[in-house]
Amino acid sequence: MNKYLQDLIKLSKYDGVISMFEPKIENEKAKLSTFVEVAESIKSKINETYAQIDDVKSKRTKNNIHLAELKSKLDDISRKNNEVTNEKELKALQLEEEIAKEQISFANEEIERLDSIAVAKEEELKELQSRLTEEEESIKEIQIAVDNAIEEINQERNVVSQQRAELLEEFDKKILTFYQKIRRWAKDSAVVPVKNQACYGCFMKINDKTYSEVIKSEEIINCPHCGRILYKEDESTEEA
């Protein structure tokens, strides 16, 4: 096989492998980010619940103040009861007393309602905090696994980059420029095998003359349809 063609096949394979490293790393990071997102959403629910508890507590305080006011009003009414001089005044006081008592019972009911909400919210908060702890533990574990996987990918990348650099040391400059021009649009499929007499870049059938030249492998042959560099894959490597 033409030496330049051999070099091109190698270079293209290295480049193909190198392009796959970044998506692999992104894929690893994505595993972690789903867990981080869940943890963030739990945190924001925790903050919401804290705010709701504060709100309930401040409403409860207001009701307590109102209750105290109503009780002192009742005291007032009972004091005035002793000073009543006629039926009309008595009736007015009785009405006032009735209203105040009704308001007291409303305020008490409201406090009871708010207390039960507060209990439920505290329970919710505990639940959320334990879920967050669980999630944060998972994140720690996954973080380690992801870091290890990325470390491994980077090591592989260093090996391949080193091999590529070594190959380039003795690479023909013109052939390299030629390859890079095709690679600019063909990306990782600048050098492609011919299978079933078809170019594996554009998947079009190539004519018998070009095909026989590809089989001979004496020269660098471009696909007549798309311009990619063609080679006849070895049966043994094709299997692999």
Judged by CB under 5 A, the residue of 100, 199, 221, 229 near Zn ion is 199
CB of 183 to Zn ion, least distance (A): 14
Q: Which is nearer to Zn ion, 11 or 190 (CB)?
A: 190
Q: Residue 129: which residues within 8 A CB-CB, separation 6 or more?
A: 46
Judged by CB under 5 A, the residue of 223, 229, 231, 232 near Zn ion is 223
Q: Which is nearer to Zn ion, 190 or 201 (CB)?
A: 201
The crossing angle, in degrees rounded to 10, of helices 87-169 and 3-81 is 170
Q: Rounded to a whole number, what is the distance in angstroms from the first to the last CA of the chain?
A: 19
Q: Is residue 226 part of the contact set for Zn ion (CB under 5 A)?
A: yes
Please choose, from the candidates 152, 149, 146, 153, the residue with its C-alpha nearest in 3D space to the C-alpha of residue 35.
146
158 Cα distance to chain centroid = 28
Part in contact with Zn ion (CB under 5 A); list of ranges 70-78, 119-127, 193-201, 232-240: 193-201
Judged by CB under 5 A, the residue of 201, 214, 231, 232 near Zn ion is 201
Q: Is residue 225 part of the contact set for Zn ion (CB under 5 A)?
A: yes
The Cα–Cα gap between 5 and 230 comes to 9
CB of 202 to Zn ion, least distance (A): 3
Q: Which is nearer to Zn ion, 100 or 199 (CB)?
A: 199
Judged by CB under 5 A, the residue of 46, 149, 202, 220 near Zn ion is 202
Q: Are 32 and 139 in contact (CB under 8 A)?
A: yes
Q: Which is nearer to Zn ion, 128 or 229 (CB)?
A: 229
Please choose, from the candidates 217, 182, 186, the residue with its C-alpha nearest in 3D space to the C-alpha of residue 202.
186
- Where do contacts with Zn ion occur on this chain (CB under 5 A)? 199, 201-202, 223, 225-226, 228
